[in-house]
Amino acid sequence: MKTSAWPKALRRGPMETLACVVIAAGIFMMLQPLAMVLFTWSFLTTLLGTVMFMVVSKFPD
């Protein structure tokens, strides 16, 4: 089995987990009733997490 030259932190598993956390943070920001600034940035945060997930799903294991 060949070992990947990618750093361990940049492999698919950890990066997909990070992307899911960013998506969850964006959804939390969208649903919270306290701070308008969080609601304002929630769509871009969710979009960033989604794009990040699509990109990192192509990374090696």
What is the structure's pLDDT at 9? 78
What is the structure's pLDDT at 3? 72
Q: What is the pLDDT of residues 1-57, one digit of tens each?
A: 567 787 887 888 999 999 999 999 999 999 999 999 999 999 999 999 999 999 999
pTM of the model: 0.87
What's the full length of the chain, in residues? 61
How far is residue 43's CA from residue 31's CA, in Å, rounded to a whole number?
A: 11
Instruction: Residue 20: name the closest of 58, 44, 60, 56 by CA.
Output: 56
Angle, helices 12-31/36-56, rounded to nearest 10 degrees: 160
What is the structure's pLDDT at 8? 82
What is the structure's pLDDT at 1? 59
